[in-house]
Structure 1
Amino acid sequence: MAAKLKVLIVDDSAFFRNRISAALSQANDIEIVGIAADGKEAIERTRRLKPDVITMDVEMPIVDGISAVRKIMAEMPTRILMFSALTKEGARETLDALDAGAMDFLPKDMSNLGSGVEEANKLLLERVRAVGQSRLSSVRGALGGRRQHTGRTPMTVSQSGVGGRKPELLAIGASTGGPVALRQVLSALPRNYPLPIIVAVHMPGSFTGAYAERLNGVCSIKIKEAADRDLLIAGQCLVAPGGKQLQVERGPSKYQVRISEPLSGQIYHPSVDLMFTSVADSYRDRALGVILTGMGADGLQGARKLKRAGSVLWSQDQHSCVVYGMPQAVEKAGLSDRVVALDEIGPMLARIS
C-alpha cells in the first residue's frame, strides 16, 4: 500500500482551515499531519512534521506566507501550494510566493474553484495531489532576477528540431510551474528577437496583467497582456488574459490576436489547444510551438493540428518539469520534434536569427 500524502494546512482563518481540512479528509490517499495559524507556526511544524505538501495562505499575522515560504525553502525545501486573493495585490503577492519557491496557487475564494462545493473540493484534491507528486524544482527565484545558465553549450537551431526553415511565430503553453519556467525562457531572449511571441498560461484573469508587468520588468523583450486586435510584432510577447481565449488571425495588413470570452464547455481559459489551433490555421508550417510544465493535457489537440500543418513542436523534458503532464501528453503522442531541458529552451530559442 502506497504511503499517504502528508499535508500541513496553514491559514489564520479557522473557517478556511476547516474548509480545506474537510475537503482533504475525503481522500484516502491524503493525511493531514498538522494545522498552523501563522507563518511562524508553519515553519516550526514543517521542521517537526516534515509534510509532503503545505497549503499556505499569503496574508497571516506574526510571519506572513511569503516570508514563511522563503524560510522553509531555504531550510527544508517542501512542496507548497499557495492560496491567494483574486485581486491585483493578491496577484503580486502570489508571484512573490512563486518567486520564493512555492509551486502552485489557488484562489482563496473557493467559489472560484468550480461551479459548487463538490467541484471546488475536487479541484483542490487534484491540485494537492499534483503538487505532492511533482519534482521539487531547483529552478526557483526566477520571477525576480536573472538566472544563471548551466554552462552547457546549447544546441544549434538546426539540431533542435526547427530544421532549415526559420519559424515566423513562437507560441508557448504552460500550466502548473509555468509562471517561473516561462520567466526563465523569456529572459534568455534578446531585445531584438526576430519573432513575435504569444503565451497561454493557466492563470486567473486578475493575475495575468500583473504577471506580464513583472516579466516586462525583468526581460529584454517587450511583454504585455494581450488586448483584442493587438498586432503580432517581432520582439514582443503577448500574454493571453486569464479567463479569456486568445486566438491568432490574419488582419488587414498583419497577423493579430483576437481575445474572446470562453464558450460553455471550454475547461481552460486561456486554452493552449485553442491558441495552437488558431496558429495552425493562420501560420500553417511557419510556427514553433513549445509546451512547458503543466498538469493535464491542454495543448495536445492543438499540437496535433500544428504538426498536421507542418509546424515544429518542442516539449520540456520530464526532469526539469514541476508537473510532467502537458509535455508528457505531447511527447507520448509522438508530436515532439525535440524534448528539451528547461535551462536550454531559452538559449536555443535565442539562437533563432
Structure 2
Amino acid sequence: MAVKVLVVDDSSFFRRRVSEIINQDPMMEVIDTAKNGKEAVEKAASLRPDVITMDIEMPVMDGISAVREIMAKTPTPILMFSSLTHDGAKATLDALDAGALDFLPKKFEDIARDKEEAISLLQQRVKAIARRRVFASPARHVPVGGSSATPSPAGGATSSLRAPLRTPLSTSTPERSSGTAPSAPANFKRSGKQYQLMAIGTSTGGPVALQTVLTQLPADFPHPILLIQHMPATFTAAFASRLNGLCKIAVKEAEDGDVLRPGTAYLAPGGRQMLVDGRPGGARIRIMDGNDKVNYKPCVDITFASTAKIYGDKVLAIVLTGMGADGRDGARLLHGHGSVIWAQDEASCVVYGMPQAVVKAGLAAEVLPLDKIAQRIMVEIKG
C-alpha cells in the first residue's frame, strides 16, 4: 500500500514541486495539499495521511502551531521544510520540540549535489518517517499564527517547554510519549570499566534524543562529551545554545583548539569534521573541512576514529537514532581498541538505521531504550 502524504505550504509552486517528487515514487502518493496550518490540521483529521510535509512560515496558522495541534489531536509523522538561516534553525528546533520527526531545507540544492540526489533524499526521508508510530502529545496553546519561541537564559531561543521532553519521538509506548510519569528505574549494574571520554553520534531524530539524554546529566559529569549530529552548518550554533540553556552540563558548538573539559559537551559544527588531537587530560578539538567525498559533515565515523587513536579503550560511544550506517566503522575501530559501544533500541528510534548497523556488526555491548540511556550512563560512569 502506498504511503499517503499531505503536502502543506503557502507557495503553490513549492506544493506542486514537492508533490511531483513524491508522486514519482510508486510507493508514495500525495492525497491532498494545504496552503496554511489551519487547513493542515483539518485535513490531517479528515484524511488521516501517513506523513505530512510542513512549511514553517505560513499565514492563518504557522507550521509550528499546526504541528502542535496535529500531534495533540491526530498524531502523524511530520517532515518540516525550513530555510537554512539562524532564524530558520530556531524555528525548526521549535517544530521538533512540538513533535515533528525530521526536517529538510526548502532549497534542495543546499543538501544535494544534483537534482536526482535531491529527489532521492526527499523520497527516502518521507518513507523513513512513515514507518514510525507516533502518539498524542499534550496540547500547548499558543496564539494562532505565532511561534512559541521564547528567549532563553543562554541567549538562544528555546521552546516554551523548559524541562526534558517527554517527546512524541519516543514511540515505543503511548505512556512514554504522552508526558505522563516516567517508567520505573532499571536495575543497571556498573561494569567497572574506566572511561575518559563519552561520544554520541546521531542523525534523524537526534535533536530530541540528545536533549532527552543530556538534560538528565549532572553538572559535575566527570568526562568531556563529543556530540556528532547530522545537521546543516547554520543549525548547530542554535542547537548548542538551546541545549546549553536546558542542560546542567555546559554545551557549546565546538571550535578549533577547544580543550576538552569535564562536564562540557562539544557539538560538531555542521558542514565540517570534528577530530580530537593530543593526549588524554589535555586533548584538543580540531575542526577541519574534510574530504568532499565523505557523505556526512559532520561524520560520526571520523570523530569516533579520532577518539580511538587518542583515548584507546577509555571511550564510551553511543549511537542514537538516524538513517544510514554512519558510526559503524568508527565504532568498529573503538571496539578494536577495547572501548565500549551502546546503541539505542529500535522501539524508541525515529529511524533505526545507524544503531541497527552497529548492532548487526556485533559491536554493541548494550542496546537501550532512549529513556533509560542517561540512567545507564550515570550507573556506568559514577556508580
Normalised-by-shorter TM-score class: over 0.9
25, 42, 45: which one aligns with 1:27: 25
Instruction: List runs of 5+ in structure 2 lacking aligned partners.
Output: 139-158, 167-180
CA 1:112 to 1:196, structure 2 compared with 1: closer, same or farther past 3 Å?
A: same
Residue type at the aligned position of 1:146 = P
Q: Which moved more, 1:248-257 or 1:131-140?
A: 131-140
Q: What is the CA distance between 1:80 and its match in structure 2? A: 0.0
Aligned to 1:150: 182
Offset at residue 222 of structure 1 (A): 0.2
2:5 and 2:65 mapped to 1: Cα distance?
19
Task: Within 5 Å, give how 1:73-92 maps onto structure 2.
Answer: 73-92=71-90
Equivalent residue, structure 1, for 2:6: 8
Task: Show the 5 A alignment for 1:190-205.
Answer: 190-205=218-233
Q: Does 2:156 align with 1:128?
A: no
Q: Normalising by structure 1, what TM-score?
A: 0.95
CA RMSD of aligned residues (A): 1.8
After TM superposition, give the deviation of residue 134 of structure 1 in Å: 2.6
User: Unaligned 5+ residue runs, structure 1?
Assistant: none
Q: Structure 2: which amino acid aligns with 1:31?
A: E
The corresponding residue for 2:353 is 325
Distance across 1 between alignment mates of 2:356 and 2:263:
29
Q: Closer, same or farther in 2 for the Cα pair 1:89/1:320, shift >3 Å? A: same
Q: Which amino acid in structure 2 is aligned with residue 183 of structure 1?
A: Q
| Letter of the 1:312 counterpart | V
Which residue number corresponds to residue 252 of structure 2?
A: 224
Is 1:341 the counterpart of 2:339 in the alignment? no
Question: Does the aligned pair in 2 maintain the 1:286–1:311 contact within 8 Å?
Answer: yes
Give the residue type in structure 2 aligned to 1:68. A
How many Å separate the matches in 2 of 1:112 and 1:215?
Answer: 25
The residue aligned with 2:63 is 65
Number of equivalent positions: 347
- My pick for the range that moved more, 137-146 or 270-279, is 137-146
**CA offset digits 1:121-146 (Å, max 9, x no partner):** 11111111111123426799897422
Q: Structure 1 runs of 4+ off > 3 angstroms?
A: 137-144, 154-157
Taking structure 1 as reference, are residues 139 and 308 closer, same or farther at Cα in structure 2, changes over 3 Å only?
Answer: farther
SS at structure 2 position matched to 1:327: helix
CA separation in 1, counterparts of 2:136 and 2:200? 21
What's the offset of the Cα at 1:86?
A: 0.3
Classify 1:137/1:318 alpha carbon distance in 2 versus 1 (closer, same or farther; 3 Å).
farther
Return the alpha-carbon distance in structure 1 between the equivalents of residues 35 and 263 of structure 2.
Answer: 46
Q: Name which of 301, 304, 310 aligns with 1:273.
A: 301
Query: Structure 1 CA distance, aligned partners of 2:227 and 2:69?
Result: 32
CA distance 1:235–1:137, change in 2 (3 Å): farther
Do the aligned partners of residues 157 and 212 (structure 1) sit closer, same or farther apart at CA in structure 2, a change above 3 Å counting? farther
Q: Which residue of 2 aligns with 1:208?
A: 236
The normalised TM-score by structure 2 is 0.87
**Contact 1:171 / 1:288 at 8 angstroms: preserved in 2?**
yes
Residue identity over aligned pairs, in percent, reads: 50
Pairing partner for 1:292 from 295, 300, 320: 320
Whether contact under 8 Å (1:142, 1:180) holds in the other structure is no
